[in-house]
Amino acid sequence: MSLVPSGSNVGAGIANIGGVVQDLFASSGDKAEAAQYRQAAQDAQEAAQFQQILTGVQQTQEKRALTMTIGSEQAGYASSGLAASGSALDVMRASTQQGALQQQVSAFQGAQQEYGYEEQAKSYDAMAAAADKASEGGIFGAVLQGIGAIAQLAGPVAKLLPLAGA
């Protein structure tokens, strides 16, 4: 009688142990991936906040430039002895409209950029959640394979136990 059990159960049990190790390493990798996605989501949220601030600064700069342009036009008309009427008012009105249009374009572009960053953050959050689920699935798979390995090795090991007492 051989002291080493033979049969497919031992091989399958050892294979299941290998599967347990593989699933645990995969789960660990999935957890690391989820952490990276969470960091990317946080970075995208911060970029959205920076974009919002940048848009406000750009609009302030544009408003200041418009005020300077209109002031310069008014000073030019006054130094030339022209009254702020007729064509002079038309030019200042056109400058004001152009400045307002530029501010609207900047606001739209800033909001569009901010929205893009927020959508990117949502996407990264979803990928992090998926990686977390994959990690949980890997752990669950490892537990099941571990149970399978124990069940497959229990029979051959039990056959050895009477020999240990003899």
Residues 125 and 41: their CA atoms lie apart, in Å, by 6
**Pick from 13-22, 25-34, 52-61: least confident:** 13-22
Q: Is the pLDDT of residue 117 over 90?
A: yes
* Amino acid at position 91, single letter: V
If pLDDT is split at 50, 70 and 90, which confidence band does 3 have?
very low
Q: Let me know the angle formed at the C-alpha of 114 by 52 and 39, rounded to the nearest 5 degrees.
A: 100
Instruction: Give the model's pLDDT for residue 164.
Output: 52
**Pick from 30-34, 44-48, 115-119: least confident:** 30-34
Tell me the mean pLDDT in the region 44-62. 94
Q: Is the pLDDT of residue 162 over 70?
A: no
In a domain, 70, yes or no: yes
Residue 158: CB atoms within 10 A of its CB come to 10
In a domain, 5, yes or no: no
Instruction: Give the model's pLDDT for residue 1.
Output: 41
Contact between 127 and 37 under an 8 Å Cβ cutoff? The reply is: yes
If pLDDT is split at 50, 70 and 90, which confidence band does 17 have?
confident
pLDDT in tens, 18-42: 778 888 888 888 888 999 999 999 9
In a domain, 62, yes or no: yes
In a domain, 74, yes or no: yes
The residue behind tokens 């994959």 is: 134
Q: What residues make up the domain containing 115?
A: 10-165
* Amino acid at position 104, single letter: Q
In a domain, 3, yes or no: no
In a domain, 1, yes or no: no
In a domain, 44, yes or no: yes
In a domain, 80, yes or no: yes
Burial environment of residue 108 by CB neighbours within 10 A (0 to 12, 13 to 18, 19 or more): exposed
